Amino acid sequence: MSLATGLLAPLAAAALIALCRRRPNLRETVTLAAAALTFFSMTLFIEPVLAGERPRLLLGELLPGLALVLELEPLGLLFALIASGLWLVSGVYCIGYLRGNGEENQTRFYACFALAIASAIGVALAGNLLTLYLFYELLTLVTWPLVTHHGDDEARRGGRVYLALLLGSSILFFLPAIAATWWIAGTLDFSPGGILAGKVSGGAAIALAALYAFGIGKAALMPIHRWLPAAMVAPAPVSALLHAVAVVKAGVFTVVKVLVYVFGAGFADALAWLPWVAGFTIVAASVIALRSDNLKRRLAYSTVSQLSYVVLAAALLTPLSIAAAAVHIAAHAFGKITLFFAAGAIYTAAGKTAVSELDGIGRRMPWTMAAFAVAALSLIGIPPAAGFLSKWLLFQGAAQDGHWLALAVLSASTLLNAAYFVPIVYRAFLVKGAAASHGEAPPSMVAAMMATAAATLALPFAAAALLTLARAVAGAAP
């Protein structure tokens, strides 16, 4: 299969889904089949990419020297595998959620979801900054109908914030950064070691790095973060898409890609300010999460915090810290999608949205809350879950670099993670709640949750393969 399959499968699925609007079973079958095909097509590239091959496909040329190019390297492969694999699980979950809640416009939902995956795959496969930017912007546009899915005033307000911050940051900062890179380096093609090496320094390098850091709004660095909690008006599967499958992962993926393939290790001094911004975001977002009673809002600010782990690690620009950033992208994806799946299951089965309403719910929804507990412990960093592996590498990378700020931030945030996750699990299982007749959510939702929770526990046992891919991202020997 060629690289085009990863793009064409979800694009074709979106068209077929629209044609199947009167046949919901066929529509959902198309979704699952396309997700499986997309994931399978990406797995075929694992061996050649790790062997050093870089599959490349020219899509066209806008201007001389400005081409749209797909090229697969280890970081892009990791993101593509996460996006396509979790699309399959999300498709199973959506069947139960959308039907269980009687959601309207289900065909539009599935079609836009497929377009979002196509855009995320485009970001993952982008061979230069121009291609990445176009798919990055497309991802914002095709997810907007999902954020505003309910169509009420609250959804429209959330959608306006979503578009304003993501499009505003990318047009005002990200696009000028790309133009400046073209003017300075004479190319937009990604290159190991960075395309700016030896071509810019001092204040100009700091300014360019700031344009990228705040222009890539999907990474949710403060203050370009409010779009994420604003988007919580969307249904739970959309929240899962935003937080784990596509949107925020596209943000931190783009940050790591730019730091590794545009700047490179020689710009550590120019990026010395970025760990401070990431560290502030980690701690401040954790404090807000701790004070939030709404479950999805707590999870949203947890995401803001956890994303900055990736930015912090990548900004250190050491091989170990970059590998840690890559591993945390995967660990966070599985953990956070499980948490949002659980939040959606609680809403579907019990109609509850607040942490203060969850007393005793673990006794009535044991599978849901067990999955929640696994994911929460992973994001805290408790072994043997996946989050422990990424946090261990993050601590090692910071210690290796002698970056005491990073070590302090990681330590403090781990305690804050425990402070806002453990009480939820405690309430669910150890506090007696009012009697209720409800049980678990629909079986497809529970099955999807259990699959992602199991993957969260299994990921460390596949650590050798994951670390091989992560070290290849960092340029270390596989």
Residue 149 is predicted with a pLDDT of: 81
Task: Give this prediction's pTM.
Answer: 0.91
Pairing state of beta strands 56-63 and 66-71?
antiparallel
Task: Provide the percentage of residues in the chain whose pLDDT is more than 90.
Answer: 45
pLDDT tens, position by position, 450-469: 999 999 998 887 766 677 76
Give burial (CB, 10 Å; 0-12/13-18/19+) of 220. Answer: buried
pLDDT in tens, 16-42: 999 988 888 898 999 999 999 999 999
Give one DSSP letter per residue of 347-381, joined into a string.
HHHH---BGGG-TTHHHHSHHHHHHHHHHHHHHHT
Per-residue pLDDT, 476: 36
| Domain ranges across the chain | 1-219, 272-478
Exposed / middle / buried, residue 477 (Cβ in 10 Å: 0-12, 13-18, 19+): exposed
The pLDDT, as a whole number, for residue 384 is 84
Could you read off the pLDDT of 235-268 as tens digits, one per residue?
Answer: 777 777 776 778 888 999 999 999 989 998 788 8
Query: What's the Cα-to-Cα distance from 350 to each of 99, 100, 339, 372, 405, rounded to whole Å?
Result: 15, 12, 16, 15, 43
DSSP string across 110-168:
HHHHHHHHHHHHHHHHB-BHHHHHHHHHHHHHHHHHHHTTT-SHHHHHHHHHHHHHHHH
Model pLDDT, residue 60: 84
CB 435 within 8 A of CB 441: no
Q: What is the residue-averaged pLDDT of the chain?
A: 88
Quick one: pLDDT at residue 477? 31
What separation in angstroms does the CA of 303 have from each of 47, 65, 168?
31, 38, 21
Q: Would you state the pLDDT for residue 448?
A: 93
